Chain A
C-alpha cells in the first residue's frame, strides 16, 4: 500500500463511505497500530471520534465491591516505576493520564479538557510543539487542585536519570514542558515529532502529584512515602496495599467525572496461576475480572460452559515470530559468536529461507495451540483472517518447499536430509520454556522433516532466555543458535520504537553488551534509509506508507517469519462492562466500568 492508496482510503472515510473502524482495521492489516491510524485521520482533518463509552448507572456508587484477580501480583504503586502491566493496572485505580487510547485508536481525554489538534491550535505546523488544555476542577484525593504545575513536574521527575523511572523513554526527548496558565501546558520537542501523543498519554503518562513527590525527585525517589500510598486524581481512593498481594480502594466521592464510578470498593488481588484465576472468575464467580488469561483455549471453553462468565478477546499488536540467524553462531570471531562479520552457512541461501517460511503451518498452530487467543499472520501486526492484506500472505505447502529446495540444488542424501556442497540442512531452533511454544516447535520440526530438513529443538527457561545477563550465552539477544522464536510486544506507542529493531545500528553485539535491539542481525540499506526518513517525516500519511514499506522489507526477506498475532484474553463475570482496549491497559477506563443485570 503506497501513499496514494492511503490518501484514497482517508478520503473515503472523510466522505463517510468507509467507517473509521474498518479504516483502522485495514491499517492494522498492513502492520500499523490503531493509534498510528488514528493520528493519520486526525492530521487529515477527520476528527477523533467522540467515543461514546456506554455507561448506564444513574448515579455514582451503589455497585458494591468490584473484585479483580491478577495472577501476577502488583509490587509497587508508582506509575513511573511500573515495570510490568500488573503494576500499571494497579496504578490505574488511583492515577490518570491526560488521555488514553481506545480500541479504535482514538485518543480519549481523561485529565485533558480536549485532544490537541490543528483546529484548536494544539498542534504546531512544524511538529515542534503541542499544547494540552487541562480539565478544570480536578482535585487530588487530598483536596489539592490539579494544575499545570503537576504536569510540568512529572516531566522533570521522569526525565531525570537519577530518578531511574522506567517511563524515561517517553519524556527524555521532550525538550521543554512549560506552564502557560494554570490549565494549559506546552510541550516543545528537540526535533520535529510526528508522534506527539506519547508523553502524558496512556500507561507511561499517569500523572503523580507535585506536592507529594517534589521532595523525592532524583536520587531519593525510592524513599517517597507516596510510592506505597498513592494520592491521585482517579476514581478510587487508596485504602491499603500489600506489595505482592492486594490493593484496596474505595469510591472517590469527589471524582471529576459526574456519576462515576459505579462500584463502592475495589479489590485487586494478585498471585497464583492463570488457570485457577480463570476458574475463580468463570467457574465459581468469586471474582469479577481475570487478567491476561494465558490458558489453553480448550480449558477456557470448558470453564465458560458453567455460564458464570465469558472470555473477552481484545486485539493487540503482540506477535509471536521466528527469527533466522543472519550470522553464523558456530564460528567465533573476536570472542563473539553470531558476529556480524560472518554469514549463516544455510540461511544465506534465499531458497532455504523461503522453504522454511512455507513449512510453518500457521493455521494449525492457531487451530490446535492458541485457539481464540492467536491469529495466524504473515505480517507484523495484522489479522489476515478478517482483513484484506495486499502485501504478504502465508501459505503452508510442503510440496512447494521441496520443489524450491530441489531447484536450488539441495539434494536428499541417504539419511533423508538434504545437502549441498557438503553442508547438510540441519539447524538448531530455540525458544523459551512455555508449553504452547514447545508444541509449536514440534509442529515446525515435523513439517521440516518432510522437506528433508533436520531441526534440533532447544528450550531455555524463560527467566534466562529473556534476561539481559551478558555472561549467559543462552539469552535471546546473544542468539547463539540458528533460529529462535519469541514474542515481541508492541505497546501503545508509535511503530518507530518497534521498527527500530531491524535497523543496522541496533544490531546486538558483544560491543554493546548485546543490548542492541536488532537480534536477528538483519541489515538492509533500504530499510535504514526509509527508517531515517520516517523519523523526520511529519506528514502522518507519508510516514504510515513508509512504515508499511519497512514492514514489507523485513517480512519479504524471510529472515523474520511472523507467525501468530496474540490478542489479549481476559475473563469477565457475566454482566461486567469493562471497555477494554488493546492499545492501553485493561483498566484504562476503570471509572466507567459497571455491571448490567
Chain B
C-alpha cells in the first residue's frame, strides 16, 4: 500500500510539471494583455504601460518567465495579481470559504437526493416512481444552470420578493439573524447547482444499482432470508457505489474550483468568479494559480478514488 502510494505520487510529479508548462505557455501565447485598459486612457502616457510591463516581467521570453514562476512556486510564492497587486494565495484563500459553503452544500444536496431516489428507482424499475424520477432527471440535466438560475431569480426575487439575488459575503447581522440571512441568500444557488448535479447522479446510481441487483449473489442473499433493507444496503449499494465513487471523486475538485456560471449570476465571491474576472482582465498569475491548483486537485482526487475502490471492493489490490 505504502509502496503503491509512493509510486503514484512520483508519477504525479512529472504530469503536474507538464500541466503547468502547458498552462503557462497557453496563457503566454493567448492574446490580450493586463494593461490594455491603460491604452485607451489618454491621461496615461504609454511609458507608464511600458514601465509596468517591464516591472512585472511581461516582456521577458516565455521560457524565462516560466522558470521564474516555477522557482517561486517551489518556494511557496504564488506571485501577485496584476489587477489588485496583492499576493495570489491571499486572494484565493479569501474566496475558499464561500466556494466551499455554496458548492459543497450543493454537492451534499445532490448526493442526498440522488442516492435514495436512484436506489429506490432501481429497486422498482419502470414503476410509476421510476418513470417520474427519470423524467425529472432528464429535465434536470437538460436545463443549463444559467437558465434555471435566471428562472429562480425571476420567480423568487422579482415576482415573489422572498429571496435576495445578490450574494453578500459580509452580512451586517449577528446571532440567529446572521445564520438566517446567510441561508436565505444561498438557497437559490445551492438549489440550482445541487439539483443539476443530482439529476445526473440519479441516473448513474440507478444504472449502477440495476446492474448489481440482478446478480446471483443478491438472489442468494434474498433466498437466505436476509431482510430486504439489509440486502440493499449491505449487498447491493456497497458494490454499486464503485462507479459512483469515481464520479463523485472527480467532481470534488470542482467544489474547490467553484461554479463559474452560477457564481456570476448570483454574484457569489467564489473561486469561479475570481477565475473568470482574472481571465477577462488577463491577470495571468491568478489564472495560472487557480488552474494549477485545480489540476493538483484532479490528480489528488483520482488517487483518492483509486484508494477508495480498494476499501469498497477488497478484490482490487494495489500493485
B80-88, B118-126, B188-196 - interface stretch: B80-88
Do A222 and B39 have beta carbons less than 8 Å apart?
no
Docked Cα-Cα span, A75 to B84, in Å, equals: 5
Please, which residues of chain B bring their CB within 8 A of the CB of A486?
40
Do B38 and A65 have beta carbons less than 8 Å apart?
no
Please, which residues of chain A bring their CB within 8 A of the CB of B274?
244
Closest chain A CB from B65 CB (angstroms): 15
Please, which residues of chain B bring their CB within 8 A of the CB of A81?
85
Among the listed A69, A227, A271, A491, which residue makes an inter-chain contact with B43, where contact means beta carbons less than 8 Å apart? A491
B46-54, B246-254, B292-300 - interface stretch: B46-54
Among the listed A76, A283, A497, which residue makes an inter-chain contact with B42, where contact means beta carbons less than 8 Å apart? A497
A176-184, A462-470, A588-596 - interface stretch: A462-470
Please, which residues of chain B bring their CB within 8 A of the CB of A270?
267
With CB as the reference atom, state the residue of chain A lying closest to B263.
A271
Mark contacts of A252-282 with chain B using CB atoms, 8 A cut-off: 1 yes-contact digit, 0 otherwise. 0000000000000101011111001001100
Among the listed A168, A170, A228, A463, which residue makes an inter-chain contact with B36, where contact means beta carbons less than 8 Å apart? A463
Please, which residues of chain A bring their CB within 8 A of the CB of B36?
463, 466-468
A242, CB-defined interface residue at 8 Å: yes
Among the listed B31, B52, B83, which residue makes an inter-chain contact with A76, where contact means beta carbons less than 8 Å apart? B83
With CB as the reference atom, state the residue of chain A lying closest to B274.
A244
A169, CB-defined interface residue at 8 Å: yes
With CB as the reference atom, state the residue of chain B lying closest to A501.
B42
Do B158 and A279 have beta carbons less than 8 Å apart?
yes
B35, CB-defined interface residue at 8 Å: yes
With CB as the reference atom, state the residue of chain B lying closest to A272.
B267
B302, CB-defined interface residue at 8 Å: no
Docked Cα-Cα span, A276 to B261, in Å, equals: 14
Mark contacts of B65-85 with chain A using CB atoms, 8 A cut-off: 1 yes-contact digit, 0 otherwise. 000000000000000110111
Among the listed B31, B33, B38, which residue makes an inter-chain contact with A166, where contact means beta carbons less than 8 Å apart? B38
Do B273 and A271 have beta carbons less than 8 Å apart?
yes
Closest chain A CB from B97 CB (angstroms): 11
Mark contacts of A51-92 with chain B using CB atoms, 8 A cut-off: 1 yes-contact digit, 0 otherwise. 000000000000001000100010110100101100000000
B282, CB-defined interface residue at 8 Å: yes
Please, which residues of chain A bring their CB within 8 A of the CB of B57?
none
Q: Given contacts A164-B48, A280-B166, A287-B166, is CB(A467)–CB(B269) below 8 Å? A: no
Please, which residues of chain B bring their CB within 8 A of the CB of A73?
277
B172, CB-defined interface residue at 8 Å: yes
Docked Cα-Cα span, A466 to B85, in Å, equals: 22
B170, CB-defined interface residue at 8 Å: yes
Docked Cα-Cα span, A417 to B38, in Å, equals: 41
With CB as the reference atom, state the residue of chain B lying closest to A84.
B37
With CB as the reference atom, state the residue of chain A lying closest to B36.
A467
Q: Given contacts A169-B44, A222-B85, A286-B164, is CB(A469)–CB(B32) below 8 Å? A: yes
A191, CB-defined interface residue at 8 Å: no
B62, CB-defined interface residue at 8 Å: no
With CB as the reference atom, state the residue of chain A lying closest to B85.
A222
Docked Cα-Cα span, A267 to B170, in Å, equals: 9
With CB as the reference atom, state the residue of chain B lying closest to A221.
B85
Please, which residues of chain A bring their CB within 8 A of the CB of B81?
75, 243
Docked Cα-Cα span, A287 to B281, in Å, equals: 26
Docked Cα-Cα span, A267 to B173, in Å, equals: 14
Do A244 and B277 have beta carbons less than 8 Å apart?
yes
Closest chain A CB from B94 CB (angstroms): 6
Do A242 and B269 have beta carbons less than 8 Å apart?
yes
Docked Cα-Cα span, A271 to B265, in Å, equals: 9
A245, CB-defined interface residue at 8 Å: yes
Do A245 and B31 have beta carbons less than 8 Å apart?
no
Docked Cα-Cα span, A69 to B168, in Å, equals: 11
Do B43 and A246 have beta carbons less than 8 Å apart?
no
Please, which residues of chain B bring their CB within 8 A of the CB of A172?
45
Docked Cα-Cα span, A172 to B43, in Å, equals: 12
Q: Given contacts A81-B85, A243-B91, A477-B39, is CB(A271)–CB(B32) below 8 Å? A: no
Do A464 and B172 have beta carbons less than 8 Å apart?
no
Please, which residues of chain B bring their CB within 8 A of the CB of A515?
46, 49-50
With CB as the reference atom, state the residue of chain B lying closest to A72.
B277
Please, which residues of chain B bring their CB within 8 A of the CB of A287?
166
Do A243 and B48 have beta carbons less than 8 Å apart?
no
Docked Cα-Cα span, A169 to B41, in Å, equals: 11
With CB as the reference atom, state the residue of chain B lying closest to A306.
B158
Please, which residues of chain A bring their CB within 8 A of the CB of B169?
242, 245-246
Q: Given contacts A466-B36, A490-B42, is CB(A245)–CB(B165) below 8 Å? A: no
Do A284 and B48 have beta carbons less than 8 Å apart?
no
Mark contacts of A440-458 with chain B using CB atoms, 8 A cut-off: 1 yes-contact digit, 0 otherwise. 0000000000000000000
Closest chain B CB from A45 CB (angstroms): 29
Docked Cα-Cα span, A280 to B37, in Å, equals: 27
Do B264 and A497 have beta carbons less than 8 Å apart?
no
A248, CB-defined interface residue at 8 Å: yes
A488, CB-defined interface residue at 8 Å: yes
Those of A474-504 within 8 Å (CB) of chain B? 474, 477, 486, 488-491, 493, 497-498, 500-501
Please, which residues of chain A bring their CB within 8 A of the CB of B50?
515
Q: Given contacts A243-B86, A284-B158, A466-B40, is CB(A271)–CB(B172) below 8 Å? A: no
A472, CB-defined interface residue at 8 Å: yes
Closest chain A CB from B281 CB (angstroms): 8
Those of A169-207 within 8 Å (CB) of chain B? 169-170, 172, 204
Do A269 and B158 have beta carbons less than 8 Å apart?
no
Closest chain A CB from B165 CB (angstroms): 7
Do B166 and A227 have beta carbons less than 8 Å apart?
no
Docked Cα-Cα span, A168 to B37, in Å, equals: 16
A161, CB-defined interface residue at 8 Å: yes
Do B265 and A272 have beta carbons less than 8 Å apart?
yes
B161, CB-defined interface residue at 8 Å: yes
Do A265 and B168 have beta carbons less than 8 Å apart?
no
Among the listed B161, B170, B273, B277, which residue makes an inter-chain contact with A248, where contact means beta carbons less than 8 Å apart? B170
Q: Given contacts A76-B83, A245-B269, A469-B31, is CB(A170)–CB(B39) below 8 Å? A: no
A573, CB-defined interface residue at 8 Å: no
Docked Cα-Cα span, A151 to B37, in Å, equals: 27
Docked Cα-Cα span, A270 to B268, in Å, equals: 10
With CB as the reference atom, state the residue of chain B lying closest to A228.
B86
Closest chain A CB from B27 CB (angstroms): 13
Most buried by B among A222, A245, A498: A245
Do B86 and A269 have beta carbons less than 8 Å apart?
no
Mark contacts of B282-319 with chain A using CB atoms, 8 A cut-off: 1 yes-contact digit, 0 otherwise. 10000000000000000000000000000000000000
Q: Given contacts A467-B31, A501-B42, is CB(A269)–CB(B168) below 8 Å? A: yes
A12, CB-defined interface residue at 8 Å: no
A517, CB-defined interface residue at 8 Å: yes
B280, CB-defined interface residue at 8 Å: yes
Those of B208-232 within 8 Å (CB) of chain A? none
A349, CB-defined interface residue at 8 Å: no
B200, CB-defined interface residue at 8 Å: no
Docked Cα-Cα span, A467 to B36, in Å, equals: 4
Do A271 and B170 have beta carbons less than 8 Å apart?
no
Do B85 and A286 have beta carbons less than 8 Å apart?
no
Please, which residues of chain A bring their CB within 8 A of the CB of B273?
244-245, 271
Please, which residues of chain A bring their CB within 8 A of the CB of B44?
166, 168-169
Do A489 and B41 have beta carbons less than 8 Å apart?
yes
24 A-B residue pairings within 8 Å (CB atoms): A83-B83, A164-B52, A166-B38, A168-B44, A169-B43, A169-B44, A169-B45, A169-B48, A243-B81, A244-B274, A246-B168, A246-B169, A267-B170, A272-B264, A272-B265, A276-B165, A283-B158, A284-B158, A287-B166, A463-B32, A468-B35, A469-B32, A489-B41, A515-B50
| Complex A-B, nearest 8 residue pairs according to Cβ-Cβ distance, in ascending order | A245-B269, A75-B84, A515-B46, A243-B84, A467-B36, A463-B32, A272-B267, A75-B83
Interface residues of B (CB under 8 A from A): 31-33, 35-52, 55, 80-81, 83-86, 91, 94, 153, 157-158, 161, 164-166, 168-170, 172, 264-265, 267, 269, 273-274, 277, 280-282
- Other 4 A-B pairs with CB < 8 A, given A83-B35, A164-B48: A65-B172, A83-B83, A467-B39, A468-B36
